[in-house]
């Protein structure tokens, strides 16, 4: 069974295929965290917790002068407020009487099959062959009757535990949540833990940073209204000795697309605590009597077999349990050419047809018309919100344009930016109260656009209706959904003053409703997300978008680091990556090899390529199709770290049955007359023979030789050469 409850010992043991998570109803009905790690039997691990008299650490009033019991030192499943625990906390609530206090103790629990769902928030779903069980455990403050229900869904075969929290106001007056985290995680010994996060900036998203936990509060957060370019809602706590192949890893991925917060702390006793959830900055949410508030879900996993195993667990889960679209696994995604870097705003229907004809010779199967097709849009200063076709550009009309593209044997895609509005637009002139702008102040501009108050139902309804009208007017196969600025000036004209702290979260909930009303009503359209590139690339978005544009930076060498960092959490099949004209010193073959570490496509004007260049692209497009299943569904290994390796970068995908593998090597800096470089494979069958083809050579070797001795990389080659080695078991 995935969840075992020992009634006599009051322990809950949550078992996945390779892990166990255990907690217990303990002293004074506080819920204690006991263990998370490799699989153990259903024994009570409370013996791990030793209690001592801790000076200046308070004791609950009803502990009967037992000074050895203090919440300031106890591992907990969810923290209290103002009950003697001075570490980072899970909840801050202002009660109806104005007090700030929450003393949550065990009230009840229940079990049921299948995963939990949340009100207005995405969660993972169960496949037909998944074993998923859920336990809900409720703690209550006996004075205020505020309850917090801790939700745990155990995806047994997938080695994933999904967690969230639900606040219920059982009192007679309204309460105000000032902070509410999705979960709390305590470690009895945290001094040997490092924290891995994925910081970055626009154009350099999801870089990798690893730092030791110290006796400070480590904050990983976004306050930008979106999950952001600057941080990603994922962290891992790992042992200091952990590598790609060995060592303990605890992964935590938040399913939320707005401002988020993760805090980790090494306390005075070298215990570690981690919390994660909605950012409490500029946040305050009123919960009336009898009402509930749900937190976003967190996907957590553990392995003692290193970072690669943690990544494989997330990759497998994201491919199977987040998005029900047929484009995830049942339909091969076409090679697309996006017109943004080809034409920017300067195009018309004839130009698009011309690009499409040239692109077809490159193996391109779909043309995507990017920004500039609507309203009076000739630059980025107008028309956002006016979702009707600009027939001065698309003179034949959208329906006829799509028909002409289809007649070439190609599919058609289109770009939207639904959440923004231009001041120079019909929408703004009709509804100036629909924007976020604090009264008496001018709103912050970014790309000369303002933010729609997507938390309002009438705004949501307008977006759903106007965009669906476009999608239903032509044979549209693909949509790129963009957002090109952070969210500022949090204010809603539809809310009273005391509820303005709810605006940011209501925006996210409203956005999810809009995506439900557009994406889920068009199952035959493939949707890709974008936020000025990868500024809102998060697990929640992947429940709607089958892939996400990884970055506006299409420089191939920069993408080596970006793909490396993204791969800690996200599978290749979700990472939008294109070949562009950026970095002309890098060969086209190398650009394409790097883009194949993603969904593959082109971001250029095909009409400007030479015949030889189009031939190269056609060859690389064919390779994308040849290795599609291997790249999209195989196990991904990081073979060389671009943040450390100065000479070359390499990665590998291995089929699930280990019968086939693809190794890609990009030479970055090979010095004259330097040492021979080798790349060692991973994930192969040690005693199986493989036929290896690449760099113009063919050889046969065992998996053991390829993994422990490696592949020699040619040296006397042009700069930035890429090699693709295909391995086939004999």
585-615 burial string, b = 16+ CB within 10 Å, else e?
Answer: ebbbbbbbbbbbbbbbbbbbbbeebeeeebe
In the chain, the N- to C-terminal Cα span, in Å, equals 40
Q: What are phi and psi of 608, to 5 degrees?
A: -95, -5
Instruction: Note if 552 is an active site residue.
Output: yes
For 440-589, strand residue ranges (E) read: 450-451, 478-481, 526-529, 547-549, 575-576, 579-580
The candidate with the shortest Cα–Cα distance to 265, out of 219, 193, 195, 217, is 217
Q: Which candidate, 391, 380, 480, places its Cα nearest to that of 421?
A: 380
Is 50 exposed, middle or buried (CB count within 10 Å of its CB: 0-12, 13-18, 19+)? exposed
> What tokens appear for 82 in the block?
């103002």
Residue 558 among the catalytic residues: no
Separation of alpha carbons 368 and 364, rounded Å:
11
DSSP 708: H
Inter-residue long-range contacts of 140-144, CB under 8 Å, 24+ positions, other chains counted: 140/104, 140/105, 140/107, 140/170, 141/101, 141/102, 141/103, 141/104, 141/105, 142/103, 142/105, 143/101, 143/103, 144/95, 144/96, 144/101, 144/102, 144/171, 144/175
Cα 687 to Cα 370: distance, rounded to the nearest angstrom:
50
Please name which of 439, 442, 447, 390 lies closest in space to residue 421, comparing C-alpha atoms. Answer: 447
The phi, psi pair for 451, rounded to 5°, reads -100, 130
Question: Angle, nearest 10°, between helix axes 556-566 and 588-595?
Answer: 20
The candidate with the shortest Cα–Cα distance to 504, out of 516, 488, 515, 493, is 488
Dihedrals phi, psi of 571, to nearest 5 degrees: -75, 160
Cα–Cα nearest to 331, from 622, 481, 547: 547
Q: Residue 447 corresponds to which tokens in the numbers above?
A: 């790309």
b/e 152-189 (16+ beta carbons within 10 angstroms → b): bbbbbebbbbbbbbbbbbebeeebbbbbbbbbbbbbbe
The DSSP line for 326-339 is: TTTTTSPPPPEEES
Alpha-carbon span 104 to 611, nearest angstrom: 70
CB 347 within 8 A of CB 372: yes
Count other Cβ atoms within 10 Å, centred on residue 498: 11
Smallest Cα–Cα separation from 533: which of 123, 232, 260?
232
Question: CB neighbours of 302 closer than 8 A, spacing ≥ 6?
Answer: 19, 21, 36, 37, 38, 159, 248, 249, 250, 251
The catalytically annotated residue of 186, 267, 482, 605 is 482
Calculate the CA 567 to chain-centre distance: 11
Catalytic choice (141, 294, 348, 552) = 552
22-25 contacts: CB < 8 A, separation 24 or more?
A: 23/77, 25/106
Residues noted as catalytic: 482, 552
């Amino acid at each position: 069974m995935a969840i075992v409850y020992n009634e006599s010992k009051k322990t809950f043991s949550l078992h996945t295929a390779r892990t166990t998570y255990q907690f217990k109803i303990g002293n004074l009905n506080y819920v204690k965290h006991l263990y998370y790690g490799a699989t153990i039997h259903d024994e009570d691990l409370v013996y791990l917790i030793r209690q001592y008299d801790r000076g200046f650490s308070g004791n609950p009033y009803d502990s009967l002068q037992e000074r050895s019991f203090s919440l300031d030192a106890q591992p907990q499943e969810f923290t209290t407020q103002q009950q003697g625990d001075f570490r980072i906390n899970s909840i801050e609530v202002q009660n109806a009487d104005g007090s700030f206090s929450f003393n949550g103790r065990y009230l009840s629990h229940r079990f049921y099959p299948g995963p939990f769902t949340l009100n207005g928030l995405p969660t993972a779903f169960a496949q037909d062959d998944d074993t998923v069980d859920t336990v809900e455990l409720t703690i209550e403050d006996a004075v205020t009757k505020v309850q917090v229900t801790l939700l745990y869904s155990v995806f047994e075969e997938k080695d994933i535990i999904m967690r969230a929290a639900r606040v219920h106001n059982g009192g007679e007056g309204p309460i105000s949540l000032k902070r509410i985290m999705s979960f709390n995680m305590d470690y009895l010994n945290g001094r040997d833990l490092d924290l891995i996060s994925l910081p970055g900036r626009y154009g350099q998203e999801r870089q990798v940073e690893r730092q030791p936990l110290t006796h400070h509060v480590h904050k990983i957060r976004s306050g930008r209204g979106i999950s952001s370019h600057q941080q990603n809602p994922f962290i891992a706590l790992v042992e200091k000795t952990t590598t790609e192949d060995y060592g303990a890893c605890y992964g935590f991925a938040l399913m939320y697309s707005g401002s988020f917060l993760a805090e980790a702390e090494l306390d005075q006793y070298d215990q570690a605590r981690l919390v994660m959830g909605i950012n409490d900055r500029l946040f305050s949410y009123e919960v009336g009597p009898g009402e509930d508030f749900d937190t976003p879900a967190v996907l957590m996993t553990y392995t003692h077999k290193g970072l690669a195993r943690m990544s494989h667990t997330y990759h497998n889960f994201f491919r199977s349990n987040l998005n029900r679209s047929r484009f995830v696994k049942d339909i091969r995604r076409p090679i697309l050419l996006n017109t943004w870097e080809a034409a920017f705003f300067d195009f018309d229907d004839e130009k698009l047809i011309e690009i499409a004809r040239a692109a077809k010779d490159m193996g391109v199967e779909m043309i995507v018309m990017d920004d500039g097709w609507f309203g009076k849009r000739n630059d980025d200063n107008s028309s956002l919100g006016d979702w009707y076709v600009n027939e001065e550009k698309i003179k034949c009309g959208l329906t006829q344009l799509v028909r002409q593209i289809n007649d070439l044997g190609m599919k058609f895609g289109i770009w939207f930016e639904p959440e923004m509005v231009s001041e120079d637009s019909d929408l703004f002139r009709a509804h100036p109260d629909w924007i976020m702008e604090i009264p008496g102040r001018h709103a912050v501009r970014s790309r000369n656009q303002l933010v729609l108050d997507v938390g309002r139902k009438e705004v949501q309804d307008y977006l759903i209706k106007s965009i669906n009208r476009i999608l239903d007017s032509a044979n549209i196969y693909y949509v790129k959904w963009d957002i090109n600025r952070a969210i500022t000036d949090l204010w809603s004209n539809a809310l009273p003053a005391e509820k303005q702290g709810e605006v940011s979260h209501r925006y996210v909930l409203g956005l999810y409703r809009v995506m439900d009303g557009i994406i889920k009503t068009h199952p035959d359209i493939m949707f890709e997300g974008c936020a000025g590139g990868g500024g809102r690339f998060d697990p929640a978005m992947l429940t709607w978008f089958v892939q996400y544009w990884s970055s506006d930076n299409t420089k191939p060498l920069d993408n080596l680091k970006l793909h490396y960092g993204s791969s800690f959490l996200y599978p290749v099949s979700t990472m939008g990556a294109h070949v562009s004209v950026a970095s002309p010193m890098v060969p086209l073959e190398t650009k394409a090899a790097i883009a194949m570490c993603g969904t593959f496509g082109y971001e250029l004007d095909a009409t400007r390529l030479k015949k030889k260049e189009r031939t190269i692209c056609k060859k690389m497009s064919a390779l994308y199709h040849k290795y599609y299943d291997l790249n999209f569904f195989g196990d991904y290994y990081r073979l060389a770290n671009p943040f450390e390796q100065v000479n070359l970068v390499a990665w590998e995908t291995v089929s699930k049955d280990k019968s086939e593998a693809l190794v890609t090597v990009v030479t970055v800096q090979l010095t004259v007359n330097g040492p021979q470089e080798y790349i060692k494979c991973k994930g192969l069958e040690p005693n199986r023979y493989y036929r290896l083809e690449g760099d113009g050579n063919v050889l046969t070797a065992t998996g053991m030789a390829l993994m422990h001795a490696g592949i020699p990389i040619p040296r006397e080659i042009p700069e930035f050469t890429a090699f693709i080695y295909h391995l086939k078991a004999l």
